Amino acid sequence: MPSQQPRALRGTQQDGSEPPGLVLSRSLVSVHSRLKPQKRPGSGAAQPCENIVVAYYFCGEPIPYRTLVKGRVVTLGQFKELLTKKGNYRYYFKKVSDEFDCGVVFEEVREDDTILPIFEEKIIGKVEKID
C-alpha cells in the first residue's frame, strides 16, 4: 500500500531517487556546517569581542530589553543614551560579590563616567524610577 504522505514530504521520488530540491538543501546544510566556525574548548573566554550584550529591566517590567553595544567597556553615560524614556532614574547593575551567599548583587551606579560591571559576558541592569 503506498504511503499516505505526499512524495515531497517523504523525501523520495517514484523511482526512489531524492527530489532535486532535497539534494540541494542537504548539500547546502553540509556546506554550511563545514563553513561554520567551530568553537574550540577553552577559547571562548579569552577572545576579545567587538560588541557586548546589554540587557536591562525597565521600571519593574518582567521582560528585559536587550541590545548590542560596540566595545567591551560601557559607562553609565553610554547606558543612559540607550534609554528612550527620559526622567529621573536609579541604575543598578548585576555583579559578582562574595558579600552574600547568593554570590551576586545589583550594585547602584550613579556617576556617568563609571564603567559598568560585566556579569557572565553581559551587562545586566535594572532601571528604577525615582518618585
Q: What is the pLDDT of residue 16?
A: 58
pLDDT over threshold 60, residue 19: no
Lowest-pLDDT choice from 4-13, 25-34, 102-111: 25-34
Q: What is the pLDDT of residue 80?
A: 96
Count CA atoms closer than 13 A to 92's CA, side-chain side.
14
Domain ranges within the chain, ordered by starting residue:
10-38, 51-129
Q: What is the pLDDT of residue 24?
A: 41
Phi-psi region of 31 (alpha: psi -120 to 50; beta: other; left: phi over 0): alpha
Q: What is the pLDDT of residue 86?
A: 86
By the 8 A CB rule, do 75 and 114 touch? yes
Q: What is the pLDDT of residue 52?
A: 97
Q: Tens digit of pLDDT for each residue in 54-101?
A: 999 999 999 999 999 999 999 999 999 999 888 999 999 999 999 999
Strand 89-96, strand 51-58: pairing: unpaired
Q: What is the pLDDT of residue 17?
A: 54
Q: Which three cell numbers stand for residue 100?
A: 552574600
Lowest-pLDDT choice from 24-28, 40-44, 57-61, 77-81: 24-28
Distances (CA, A) of 121 to 1, 12, 48, 51: 57, 46, 11, 10
Mean pLDDT score of the chain, rounded to an integer?
A: 78
Q: Does domain 51-129 have CATH number 2.30.30.90?
A: no
* Euclidean distance between the first and the last CA atom of the chain, given in angstroms as a whole number: 74
> What whole-number percentage of the chain has pLDDT above 90?
58
Looking at residue 114, the DSSP 8-state letter turns out to be P
By the 8 A CB rule, do 65 and 106 touch? no
pLDDT over threshold 50, residue 28: no
